Amino acid sequence: MTPFPLHRIAHIVGGELRLSGADTPDTIVDGPVDTDSRQMVPGGVFVAKPGAETDGHLFVPAAVAAGAVLAIVERPVDTPVTQIVVPDVVAALADLARAVVAEVRATGRLRVVGITGSNGKTTTKNLLARIMAGAGETVAPRASFNNEVGAPLTMLRVGPATRFLVSEFGASGPGEIARLAGLVTPDIGIVLMVGLAHAGGFGGIEETFRAKSELVQAVRPGGLAVLNADDPRVRRMAPIAADRGVEVRWFGLDADAAVRAHDVEVSASGTRFVLTVDGASMPVNLRVLGAHHVMNALAAVAAATALGVEPADCVAALETVEIAERWRMQPLGSDRVRIINDAYNASPDSMAAALRTLAQITAPGERAVAVLGAMSELGEQAGEEHDRIGELAVRLRIPRIVVIGAEARRMYLAAIAEGSWSDEAVFFATADEAFEYLLGELRDGDRVLVKSSNSAGLRFLGDRLGESFS
């Protein structure tokens, strides 16, 4: 974190400063900020966040034992450490993040990029961070730190030497992206797509559109909106950008996009395509599995080149990335039985893209196996969307479909109705039952996709299968 004296931190978060030991109001704090006592390091700041299952205040002693020098709390804790008592630690976290970013930005060196979209945020964040790391110190979220706690924690990692902050903004309802992006007022806002992910929380696709467009509205006047030319809903955000004096840079497969891809070829070792940036073309060998990740790469290149990185340097960085993130199209197992663990998140769009990838990378003489679980947060559209995925798996001629969990059962029924006969489609109530079945069913030459939302827990099934067939 950027160095601040204790009295200034207390003022920023609107809290009561309670000193301990030799600390004074002028004592400087510059250690990392975290809500997890297990991640605490000497000099760190611990934020005691109450949770649904436990209370961060119970872990203040553990954080202090690990080296915390300051605790931000909602009530005083009987532990020898300086504390700032605030009404709401999550609000305090946001206030502190805003101040830290503003402090560094005042030097004129820091550039901020915000990313949102129904799918692809984390992959795009990782690709862009890899590119920008070659141009200067870059701060980006760990894993999917994109909510009201994770996003500010990422911002608080910004220090005096940071050149680029890449922020990922997720949301489960209207107004959340506006609040998070409003903490930093991005120089560049990337909108990947508007789909049905979390549609239940938003109340429908039009509400999702409005929520994602909050990022464009948050970009500073004179900044840049990087928009998906292939998504008609994202295209509708161009007038919003124009009204704010924000330039638009298009990416996609569309021939008019400033940053586009063509001649896309998908294989089990990755995806090849030709990248064109402002008229200049070059080949790319992306090792991340799936044609859908080409769009994420294009978005990253569009932002990076706007920040001054040469296209050739973007390509060199992209080609070093082997996986998007753990549990996202992650290759496991062996050449004998290849497991693709993509069960960290799922929406109708990402589920369909993963199934198409499975079909594309399965060579003649090999067998595609789809292990599917529920897609969460789809609201009243959940049943219909699960039906469509079951139908799609059959239409893609995937010969073995394994559906797991009561919430996903409609995928299995839809596959049967679409023409999956005999034991081509099977259903199991639990992952353990499916694991035992798959141990006996999988054979040499199988290519296995494990795909579900995080809540279904199939990512751990994917790990188990990967270990069993390694």
What is the pLDDT confidence band of residue 290, given thresholds at 50, 70 and 90? confident
> In the 8-state DSSP scheme, what is residue 66?
T
Q: CA 415, CA 194: separation in Å to the nearest integer?
A: 27
Position 54 scores a pLDDT of 85
Residue 369 near residue 439, CB atoms below 8 Å:
no
Position 237 scores a pLDDT of 98
Greatest pairwise CA separation for the chain in angstroms:
75
Residue 315 near residue 297, CB atoms below 8 Å:
no
Tokens of 141: 């979220």
Nearest to 427 by CA among 401, 453, 446, 459: 401
Element spanning 189, H or E:
strand 188-191
Q: What angle do CA 80, 23, 63 make, to 5 degrees?
A: 40
Is 142 in a helix, a strand, or coil?
coil
Tokens of 8: 């200034």
Q: Where are the domains of the chain?
A: 4-87, 94-318, 330-468
Tokens of 310: 């040469």
Mean pLDDT check: name the lowest of 79-93, 271-285, 393-407, 419-433.
419-433
Q: Highest mean pLDDT: which of 104-113, 306-315, 346-355? A: 306-315
Predicted structure pTM score: 0.87
Q: Sign of dihedral through CA atoms 323, 328, 331, 332?
A: positive
Amino acid at 68: A
* Burial label, 200 (beta-carbon count in 10 A; 0-12, 13-18, 19+): middle
Q: At what angle do helices 89-105 and 6-13 cross, to 10 degrees?
A: 120
**pLDDT per residue over 293-316, tens digit each?**
999 999 999 999 999 999 999 999
Parallel, antiparallel, or unpaired: how do β-strands 367-372 and 400-404 relate? parallel
Q: How large is the average pLDDT for residues 57-64?
A: 97
**pLDDT per residue over 354-391, tens digit each?**
999 999 999 999 999 999 999 988 888 899 999 999 99
Q: Where in 268-391 does DSSP place strands (E)?
A: 270-277, 280-286, 330-333, 337-342, 367-372
Q: How large is the average pLDDT for residues 194-202?
A: 63
Parallel, antiparallel, or unpaired: how do β-strands 270-277 and 280-286 relate? antiparallel
What is the pLDDT confidence band of residue 335, given thresholds at 50, 70 and 90? confident
Q: How large is the average pLDDT for residues 150-155?
A: 94
Q: CA 229, CA 234: separation in Å to the nearest integer?
A: 7
CATH of domain 330-468: 3.90.190.20
Amino acid at 331: P
Residue 259 near residue 234, CB atoms below 8 Å:
no
In the predicted structure, residue 338 carries a pLDDT above the cut 90: yes
Nearest to 373 by CA among 414, 328, 404: 404
**pLDDT per residue over 213-271, tens digit each?**
999 999 999 999 999 999 999 999 999 999 999 999 999 999 999 999 999 999 888 89
Residues in the chain: 470
Mean of pLDDT over the chain: 93
Residue 84 near residue 18, CB atoms below 8 Å:
yes
Tokens of 108: 């004129």
Query: What whole-number percentage of the chain has pLDDT above 90?
Result: 82
For domain 4-87, give the fold. 3.40.1390
For tokens 């639990």, what's the residue? Answer: 430
**Which of the following CATH numbers is that of domain 94-318: 3.40.1190.10, 3.40.50.150, 3.20.20.140, 1.10.540.10?**
3.40.1190.10
Residue 126 near residue 6, CB atoms below 8 Å:
no
Amino acid at 57: H
In the predicted structure, residue 4 carries a pLDDT above the cut 60: yes
Tokens of 2: 């950027």
Q: CA 37, CA 299: separation in Å to the nearest integer?
A: 35
Parallel, antiparallel, or unpaired: how do β-strands 330-333 and 337-342 relate? antiparallel
**pLDDT per residue over 162-175, tens digit each?**
999 999 998 777 89
CB-CB neighbours of 399 under 10 Å: 14
What is the rounded end-to-end Cα distance, in angstroms, of the chain?
A: 41
